[in-house]
Amino acid sequence: MTIEDYLEQVFREKYTVQQYSQTDSLPLFLRNEYLFFECKIHGVQCVLLKMQTERILADKIMKHMSKLRELGIERSVLIFDDMRPYQRKNLVHNRIPFIVPGRQIYLPFICLDFNETITLKQPRIEKFTVTMQCVYIAILKQKSDDVKTGELRKKLGISTASTSRTLRQLASMGLVKEQGKATRKQYQRISRKEFWEKGKLYLMDPVQKTIYVAKLPEHIKAFFSKDSALAKLSMLSEPSHISYAISKASFAEIPAEDIMQMDEIDEHLQFCELEIWKYDPALFAQNDVVDVFSLYSEYPEHEDPRVEIELEAILKEVLCEV
């Protein structure tokens, strides 16, 4: 949430934040510590200070604000992306004004508004969880940028709490925009192209386990995956054996005696490769082929340049669809 939107939400007034017009006249040591903006908040002219370090030292900040007062800046307000409870407590104790857009505002000369439930930083995310990847792909595949939480829950079969938590995580990663409070929160996807470019770095391989069978059982719902899927979607030739993606539920229906052991696999004989996925491939598959985004995540470091070229071409076509 932008600071303008947050101030409008709190005070029910329109706001404009712009760069401080006299930044060049400020001492260099202050310009090295903060980015300066200005805004009239509820009728009070304020200079907003965006810290360029994560260390929040109240004593140091108070000295800086004192210097700013000497220079004629009466109302200085710190701006943070996030804040821990002990940091907030320290700033409030010293009556240092601050704003965390969408979360907290403390302006002792005007008002205070704290939302305790979202002050802690989320752990750093290296890879999507299963739920995160499913939500990400579902949002990526939709045409509209608006995220319909009810439709997500219904399509993916996940709880309200899980949906909310996942969307908050995607918001913390900058993949969706978050507006509103508590149960009134709304989310919007960033541009589809940017959403893909940023999000693809977190994709996990959906394959949990791979088994081999002489022939795909007729009652098992399976979808072409890996090289077989790529052959269906591009001009690449069919691989020597077929690869399918199946769900955990489908895997449970395959008799143990039908599963081939490694020493039984012979490239000269017919067999199928079955990938048991961490999520149901049917969620996003089309025409018996797994979705291209999950397919992409199966090739994290492929060495064949032909695969890379074909994948990029397929992705470009899909992402350009309106």
What pLDDT is recorded for position 34?
92
130-202 CATH pick, 3.40.190.10, 1.10.510.10, 2.40.50.140, 1.10.10.10: 1.10.10.10
- In order, the DSSP letters of 15-53 are ---EE-TTGGGS-HHHHHHEEEEEEEETTEEEEEEEESS
What pLDDT is recorded for position 126?
87
Residue 230 token pair: 């790529």
User: 303 or 100: whose pLDDT is higher?
Assistant: 100
**Which residue's entry shows tokens 């598959």?**
285
In whole angstroms, how far apart are CA 122 and each of 125, 132, 158, 254, 278?
8, 14, 21, 40, 24
* Short-list 234, 228, 215, CA closest to 290: 228
**Which residue's entry shows tokens 């409030």?**
92
Q: Is pLDDT of 143 > 80? A: yes
pLDDT digits (tens, 9 = 90+) for 207-231: 999 999 988 888 899 999 999 999 9
Q: Is pLDDT of 121 > 50? A: no
pTM (predicted TM-score): 0.61
What pLDDT is recorded for position 120?
40
Q: Is pLDDT of 148 > 80? A: yes
| Confidence band, pLDDT 50/70/90 cuts, at residue 37 | very high
**Which residue's entry shows tokens 């054996």?**
241
User: 268 or 132: whose pLDDT is higher?
Assistant: 132
Residue 93 sits at the vertex; the CA angle it makes with 89 and 94, to the nearest 5 degrees, is 125
Q: Where are the domains of the chain?
A: 3-118, 130-202, 207-319
Average pLDDT on 59-80 reads 92
Average pLDDT on 194-209 reads 94
* Short-list 39, 42, 45, CA closest to 12: 42
Question: How far, in Å, CA of 252 to CA of 261, rounded?
Answer: 17
Mode of pairing for the β-strands spanning 272-277 and 111-113 = unpaired
The answer to whether residues 167 and 177 touch, using CB atoms and an 8 Å cutoff, is no
